[in-house]
Amino acid sequence: MQWLWAVFTVIASGGQVLRNAMQKELTATLGTVGATHVRFLFGLPFSLLFLALVLGATRLPFPALNGTMIAWTAAASLAQIAATALLLAAMQARSFVVTTAYAKTEPVQVAIFGLAFLGDRVTPGQTAAIVVATAGVLIMSWPKSNSAEAFSWKPAGLGIDSGALFAIAAIGYRGGILALAAPNFVVGATTTLVLGLAIQVAVLTTYLVVADRPVLMAIFRAWRPSLFAGFMGAFASQMWYLAFALETAAKVRTLALIEILFAQVLSRNLFKQSLASRDALGIGLIIAGVVLLLNS
C-alpha cells in the first residue's frame, strides 16, 4: 500500500500528457473553451462507468455526500476549469513541452501563496528553492533577440497561472476525498471524480449554451477525437485521485514532475518540436527548485 500512490502518479502523468496532446490538437478547431470542455463532457460517462465497476467490485453502496466534501470538490472543479483553459491558451503560443514546464511551477506557487495569504514562514531552504525555480522560468521565457518569439511573456504568464490553479485543484480534490471519509479509498476517489466532472460539465455546458452554441455543436461533431481525449482525461484523473487518497498532494505533485519528461518525448515524436538548450536548462532548474522546496 505504501508504494501504490507512486504507481498511480506515474500512470496519471503519462495519461495526462496524452490528454493534453489531444486537447492541443482540438484547440485549433474548437477554441480554448471548447477544447477545455471536451475532457469534462466526454470524460463524465467514463467516470460513471468507473464508479459502477468500483461499487460492483467492492459491493459497497454509493457513499453519502456531505457539505464539506461538496464544497472542496466544487472549488477544485472550478479551479481546474480555469487552469485547463489557461494551459491550452499557453500551448497555442509556445511549444508543448515548455508550456508543460510552466504549469509544473505549481508546487513553488503553493509556498508563495502560503506566505502571502496564511503568513506561513519561508525557511532559507525554501527561499533558495523558489529563487532556483523562478530562475528556470525566466531563462525559458526570456525573449530571444533574433526570434519570432520575442516578447513571449504572455504564454509564460498563462502557463504559470495555470500551475497556480492546478495547485488549488489538487488540494481541493484531496480535501474532498478526505472529507467524504468513504470506507474504501477507491470508492472515495472515484465518487469525487464523478462529482467533480458533473460540476464541470454543468458549468461549461451552461456557459456554451448561453454564450457560444456553435462551439458546443462543433464539440459533438468532433466526437471521435473528443471521445479519446475524454477517456484519457477521466482515466488520468482517476489515477490522480487514487494517489491523493493515499498520499499528500505535495508528494504526489512532486513525483508528477516526470510529466515534463513524458511531454518532451511526445513533443519530439508527435509535434516535431525541438527543445532548445536554454529551455532544457530552465526545465532542469524548475525541477531542482521544486525538489529542493519539498525536501527543505
Give tens-digit pLDDT for 221-263.
Answer: 888 888 888 898 899 999 999 999 998 777 777 777 777 666 6
The average pLDDT across 71-87 equals: 88
pTM for the whole thing?
0.78
Alpha carbon distance 128, 47 (integer Å):
41
Instruction: Give me 205's grid cell.
Output: 455546458
| pLDDT one-digit tens code per residue, 17-40 | 777 777 777 777 888 788 888 889
Task: Report the distance separating Cα 73 and Cα 205, nearest Å.
Answer: 18
Q: Which range, of 100-109, 131-140, 203-212, 239-248, averages the lowest pLDDT? A: 100-109
Identity of the residue numbered 179:
A
Say if CB 287 and CB 137 are below 8 A apart. Answer: no
Q: How many CB atoms lie within 10 A of CB 139?
A: 17
The rounded mean pLDDT for the chain is: 80
Q: Does residue 270 carry a pLDDT above 60?
A: no
Q: Which amino acid is at 21?
A: A
Domain residues for the domain of 145 are 4-295
Cell numbers for 295, please give them.
Answer: 525536501
- Read out DSSP for 23-79? HHHHHHHHHHHHHHHHHHHTTHHHHHHHHHHHHHHHTPPPPPP-HHHHHHHHHHHHH
Which residue did the predictor score with more confidence, 143 or 42? 42
Say how many domains are in the chain: 1
Residue 283 has pLDDT above 70, yes or no: yes
Cβ contact 207:34 at 8 Å:
no
Quick: pLDDT tens for 193-204. Answer: 999 999 999 999
Could you tell me the three cell numbers for 106? 505549481
